[in-house]
Amino acid sequence: MQLLTDEIKRKMISRVFIFFSCLFVLGGCMYNDEPMPEIVHSPSSESRIIPPPVIKPKQGWGSAYKNIPGNWLPPLQLEKKWVAVVIHHSATEKGNAAIFDKLHKEQNHWEGVGYDFVIGNGTDSGDGQVEVTFRWRKQIPGAHCGGTSGNWANKDGIGICLVGNFCYRVPTARQMQSLLKLVRFLQKRYGIPRSRIYGHNTTPGARVTACPGKKFPMSRLKSMLNF
């Protein structure tokens, strides 16, 4: 009888032990199932002000101008500071950089085409095609806007010529799209505001000319610039 009682006691003790063991394990599980505490921002992290990245001129521009043709960027070791853009028409129905280069050499006895960029109208180059001339590649003064004080417009102004005669017709839509893209690029690159984007005839000090023609949409172009 005593043996039986001891046996019962042992069984009871082991069951109680198993019961509490289960409680302990379940308790652990329950603890683990508790929802995660909400993450709240401490006042110190909220009040922390992250300063905007410092964008220095000529740094990081590559990513900002992803679709800019590589030849619009002059060789960095030659690059100079430009202060204005002067827009011209060719006053011819047709043409391209090579044709104007030949013309300016033969007729004017210049070193070559006077402009930095020539934008085609679909005749002798693509409609809206931007040609980069040796003047831009070498970063040397242009020969496109005579008469200004100290020749500043040729020395420090970027000459862009659109093929066509805008005394009689407007530039093509593609020419204007390319011009807008090119001018925006040059503005950003050199910090040139729209007030220094000139037509040849409105360049301060320039000799009287009809260029770039009364049908050239200068005010519309300026309205589409960012600054």
- Segment lying near Zn ion (by CB under 5 A), choices 58-66, 109-117, 149-157, 206-214: 206-214
CB contact at 8 A, 216 and 89: yes
Task: Enter the tokens of residue 118.
Answer: 């020539």
Task: Give the nearest distance from C-beta 118 to Zn ion in angstroms.
Answer: 12
Minimum CB–partner distance for residue 105 and Zn ion (Å)? 18
Identity of the residue, 178 or 203, whose beta carbon is nearer to Zn ion in the bound complex:
203
Question: In this complex, which beta carbon is closest to Zn ion, that of residue 118 or of residue 211?
Answer: 211
Of 97, 99, 192, 211, the residue at the interface with Zn ion (CB under 5 A) is: 211
- # binding residues, Zn ion (CB under 5 A): 3
Q: Which is nearer to Zn ion, 196 or 200 (CB)?
A: 200
DSSP 193: -
Residues 57 and 113 sit within 8 Å (Cβ to Cβ): no
* 67 token code pair: 């679709």
Min dist CB 46 to Zn ion, Å, is 58
CB-based contact 200:209 (threshold 8 Å): yes
Please name the amino acid found at residue 86.
V
Question: Which C-beta is closer to Zn ion: that of 189 or that of 200?
Answer: 200
Peptide bond into 204 cis (omega under 30): no
**Across the chain, which distance is largest between two alpha carbons, in Å?**
135
Nearer to Zn ion, 88 or 189 (CB): 88
Smaller CB separation from Zn ion, 145 or 192: 145
CB of 122 to Zn ion, least distance (A): 21
Neighbour count for residue 221 (Cβ, 10 Å): 18
Residue whose pair of structure tokens reads 């020969």 in the numeric block: 143
x-or-dash string of contact with Zn ion, 74-103, rule CB under 5 A: --------------x---------------
Say if residue 90 is exposed, middle or buried (CB neighbours under 10 Å; 0-12, 13-18, 19+): buried
Segment 119 to 138, residues that bind Zn ion, using CB under 5 A: none
Q: Binding to Zn ion (CB under 5 A): which residues in 164-203?
A: 200
103: Cβ–Cβ under 8 A, 6 or more apart, which residues? none
The reply on whether position 104 binds Zn ion by CB under 5 A is: no
Interface contacts to Zn ion, rule CB under 5 A: 88, 200, 211
